Amino acid sequence: MKTSHLIRASGVALMIGGILGVVGLVIHPLSETASDVASSRWVPAHLLAFVSAIPLIFGLIGLYARQAEETGRLGLLGFALTLIGAISDGMELLWIEVIIFPFLVANDPALYDSLRSSSAYLVALALSFLLFFGGWITFGAAMVRAAVLPRWTVWLVVMAVIPAIFILGLAVLVLSGVATASGLSGSGSPTILIFNIVGIVLSLSFVGWGYALWSEKRQTTAQS
């Protein structure tokens, strides 16, 4: 298969992953207490988030390949960090959020709260966020500088980077001990709602980039 066809296919993958991500975030509970984990929405929301990560990872590869030369070393660094973070987040969604948390809540809710307050869990979670969102900020800056994709996609970069800075700030707070996962996601806290909103913005940006990759090849073919 030609590289151009793979890049166009990656555009479709980005659109699919972005749409699945939006659906998962829309049905996600507005807090992450033990009762939320036991609700009927918890597993479908996180399973959709995991499934969305698979086409997104493939799509990110195509997004980078389309502008690898123009984004240079900064783009490579940002892409590598984003890809590693996306894989790490995907595994966390599957094994922790979909399997382990529901099992703990069903058998020992207190152990669920204890795990989410443990240093090992908080550090691992915060580091995966730092990798993905730190890499995304770097990759976004490289994309803006390269200006390979249509100009309207620059606004998508801005839309995605602002939420990334917010999530990055939360990760730093958790790593520094200023905040805990339980405190940020407990009942009555607006953090999960805000997190879902910025996640939807990021997911919609993926849809836009996917469309840009897919339509770019289509337009080129039509003009030939």
Sketch the domain layout of the chain as residue ranges.
Answer: 3-223
Cβ proximity of 137 and 162 under 8 Å = no
pLDDT tens digits, 14-54? 999 999 999 999 999 888 888 899 999 999 999 999 999 99
Neighbours of 152 (CB within 10 A): 9
- Whether the per-residue pLDDT at 125 is higher than 50: the answer is yes
Residue owning tokens 């996609």: 153
Q: Which of 134-143, 149-158, 162-171 has the lowest mean pLDDT?
A: 162-171
pLDDT tens digits, 71-102? 999 999 999 999 998 898 888 888 899 999 99
- Average pLDDT, rounded, for the chain: 84
Confidence band for 162, pLDDT divided at 50, 70 and 90: confident
Neighbours of 88 (CB within 10 A): 18
CA atoms within 13 A on the CB side of 191: 19
